[in-house]
Chain A
Amino acid sequence: MPQLLHPSFLRIGRRSAAVLLLLAGLGLLMTGLARPTDATDPYVVGSDLTRVTRISSELAATALDRAARTERMLGLTGLSRRTVDRVVDRRGQRTYDEVTGLDAQDRPIAVLRFGLDGQLQAATRLGWRPGSGPALAAAADAIRAAGRLAGTLGLRPFGTATAARSGANGWSVRWPRTVDGVPVPGDGLRVQLWPDGSFHALTAAEHPLAADPSFTIPAASAGAIVTALLDRWIPLAERRDARIVGTALAWVAPNDTFASARPDAPAEIRRLAWVVTVRSTGSLSESLRGLEVSIDAGDGSLLGGDVLR
Chain B
Amino acid sequence: MSDARARRRRWRSWIPPLIGIVGLFAVAGGPAVGPSLATTYQATADSNETAFEPPCIGYDDPHPERMLAMATSGLAALGYDVKGYKGALFTRAHVLSRTVGDYSYYVHSHGDYYWHPGDQRRYSGFREDSGDCVQGIVYSKDIKDRRAGRTTNLVIVSTCFNGDPNTTLPAAFGIPKIKAGQLDWNGPRFYLGYLGEAFDNDEEAFEVTFWDALKKGKGVGAAFDLAMLGDFTHASFDADWWGTYIWSGRAGPVPTCPRCS
Contacts and interface: CB of A to CB of B under 8 A. Distances in A.
B228 interface: yes
B13 A12 contact: yes
B52 interface: yes
Interface string B229-256: 1111111101010000100000000000
A15 B17 contact: yes
B21 A19 contact: yes
A127 B229 contact: no
Interface string B17-29: 1001100100010
A67 interface: no
Contact of B59 (A45, A107, A258): A258
Interface string B39-72: 0000000001001100111111111001001100
A308 interface: yes
Nearest to A43: B208
Indicate the member of A130, A167, A308 with the most B CB atoms within 10 Å: A308
Interface residues of A, number: 71
Which bucket holds chain B's interface residue count?
A: 35 or more
Contact of A260 (B48, B60, B240): B60
Contacts, number: 178
A113 B230 CA distance: 12
Interface stretch (A135-143, A215-223, A283-291): A283-291
B235 A176 contact: yes
A235 B55 contact: yes
Contacts of A187: 231
A67 to B, nearest CB: 16
B66 A168 contact: no
B225 A306 contact: no
B102 to A, nearest CB: 23
Interface string A105-125: 011110101000000001010
Interface of B: 9, 13-14, 16-17, 20-21, 24, 28, 48, 51-52, 55-63, 66, 69-70, 73, 109-110, 127, 133, 135, 159-160, 165, 179-182, 184, 195, 197-202, 208-209, 212, 218, 221-222, 225-226, 228-236, 238, 240, 245, 259-261
30 contacts: A18-B17, A23-B24, A27-B24, A27-B28, A45-B70, A46-B69, A46-B73, A49-B212, A111-B225, A126-B221, A126-B225, A126-B261, A164-B235, A176-B235, A185-B233, A203-B231, A233-B58, A252-B233, A257-B200, A257-B201, A264-B66, A287-B56, A287-B57, A292-B199, A307-B200, A308-B197, A308-B200, A309-B48, A309-B159, A309-B160
4 shortest interchain CB distances as A-B pairs? A128-B181, A233-B58, A287-B51, A185-B233
